[in-house]
Structure 1
Amino acid sequence: MHTRRDWITTPISTDLLRGALDLERTEHGWLPHRLPLRARKQIPDGQLAMAESQPSGVRLVFRTRATALELDTLPTKRVYVGAPPRPDGVYDLLVDGRLAGQAGVSGGNTLTIDMATGSVQAQPGPVGTLRFTALPDGDKDVEIWLPHNETTELVALRTDAPIEPAPDRGRKVWLHHGSSISQGSDAAGPTTTWPALAASLAGVELINLGLGGSALLDPFTARTLRDTPADLISVKIGINLVNTDLMRLRAFTPAVHGFLDTIREGHPTTPLLVVSPILCPIHEDTPGPSVPDFTALSTGQLRFRAAGDPAERAGGKLTLGVIRDELARIVEQRAAEDPNLHYLDGRDLYGQADAAELPLPDQLHPDAATHRRIGERFAKLAFTADGVF
């Protein structure tokens, strides 16, 4: 048992963080961000501001002989009025690349969200402590993956032996952008979101720009992808454009071209994979927006339904079928001059047979088992000998 005087406190710094693009000093400590300050200044809504501050794919990585560690954090937890309570965010501990523990942090700030009215109420709360003990003795690489769905301020890191930044293992960096599915909605933990699983299987370093509700072809996101060093890039486009009913086909096509043009300004020859949406039955042929199913919410279930009219496709409204066809056409057109640009149909990751076996519980998001399936399939389709990466 370690007494308080046994602990060594190491300052939080970018040398210890991977997967974050910025680190903001706060009243309590340090807040990792997945979009840089320049982009954050242009964020138009609270949904994206919340999503980019949730540290999906962000981890503390260091080398140490320590057998015990503590991490003080200030999480921000979400409560949805009328919905079942959300579990605490999960922290995954990896030792030499293998899962060695999982835990949560109680306390923290609370956001109470009323989906019927759109109101949000914030309530401050106390700092909590994550603790892992009985780590194996000897030098080892330690990773603490932060919760993929819970804003997390890092307050203090303590160990019972000195730590140093982990050495660069020379692995390729995979930069991925997508929606809440890519961020990890309803995954079991931060290392079992489908991108984290795929990265682990492929042996690459992940930077996850999956942004819940916010894969909307925003120019500042494209500039972030352009300016972030990476060996491999993928962009998963579609579902949020339908969810939000943001644009019509006339705007979608040039927006996709502009998004890809911007990425290519910084990565002219990097392998770039465009991924269309996985199967989502409610929006295959029915436009958005997606809205909460308040009938289900009254019974304590959080589910969504499509509020659009299929007849509106004639006026240019987007469905997933329309988006897949157009993305395939755009990539085929551009690939004639860009041999490092590729397309993957999202239904190859999750299609009709998968939906029959593993239906989307809330009509939009995959569960933990489906995240594993998507991650394994993406690793096989993208990272094996015949894959585009």
Structure 2
Amino acid sequence: MLQGAFRSVGAEVTSPWFYTQLGLIMAAAGVAMGLAAALRSRIDVTSVAMGWPTPLRLLVRVLLQSTTTAFFAVITLIMRIVMVTMTWPSRSYLLITAASLAFAWLIIRLATSVIRNEFAVRLLSVSAWTVAALSIIGLLDQTLDALDSVAVVLGGIRVSPLLVIKTTVAMAVALWLASVVSKFLESRINSARDLTPSLQVLLVKMVRLLLIVIAVAVVLSAVGINLSSLAIFSGAVGVGLGFGLQKIVANFVSGIILLADKSVKPGDLITVGDNFGRISAMNTRYISVAAGDGREFLIPNEDLVTQKVTNWTYTDKNTLVKVKFRTNYDADPRAVCKLAVDIAVATPRVTKLKPPTCLITEFADYGMNFALTFWIADPDAGMDNVRSDVMLALWDAFKREGIRVPYPVRDIRVRGPLPVDAVLEQPN
């Protein structure tokens, strides 16, 4: 078969019509590049497609980028028609082949314009065009037979290069479709008002996992792989889970448990160890806790299941804030408590549903200790800032009312005379 193909190619190369067609193809390529450059210099895609839907803008941009291919395909097709009318069709086969290849590339580029991943677009375009080119020149069946002729048997599965290519391409397409459907369903689930945030996250993760499992099962069945023959690989995966992946599985299962029991959910204010902040996202392996100062703590899900977690907004977002202060014994403690309560009531973020309270807690050595407690309904906006506002207002009120804040005074007593070595200079 290969010897016959080589003899056919040799006969065609020695024919003068081969070089005639090759010259016409090169001329068509030059004219197409000139026309495309002139067209692109006169058209601004941004101004023309302004206000159009995103897919249509992408289609127009790809079409403008592929004007060289489009002009080349049209010109070679016209040359083919002219050659057919003037001579035998067999003397213009190279022109129709070049036109077909150009049209195939143009159609593939337009079809892949909806994909935004540049690497995926190139990989899919080159793969599809290669298959189309082999089909156009009539070598697709021979190529498939050659790829399928070399194979090895692994665990009862006949693995050949053709099977690997088919599985890879089908898997990529299936996972891409699963991702598109997952994003659509995720938007619908997140827009449902009757679902809690934790239930939304749980449903999104379960839907995504289910779609991936379905995509993998469909692809393996479509390429002819019996799922029961994968028992040896599932055993290897089990060994891997037992030795090196137990933490990943533990975090995944812990994430499912956290979403199911609703102990924490996005938006909650939590404290885990020394980490304090608001839950901004719950992922498969970890949760993201925003500290409020630009930092985000990535805490493994297993830690939230096995460690002590303080959830400030578990059942109620109202949070108690305590301010401790001290006055001297010259102040009236009842007046101090009333002044502190009035200041807390006047602070904007302090809720009015639960009135503030001020208690005297101790008669200490240097003064009276007080504890002012009040509630806020937005702890995610910060607790230190509202505590600071109240303390500054207390300071201003104490200055205005003449109430002093005591502080320890330390006296140094010197017992007995201090020895001083003095050197007297003798007069000259």
| Pairwise TM-score range, normalised by the shorter structure | under 0.3
Q: TM (normalized to structure 2)?
A: 0.19
Higher relative contact order (CA 8 A, sep 6+): 1
Say which structure is richer in strand.
1
Larger Rg: 2
Say which structure is richer in helix.
2
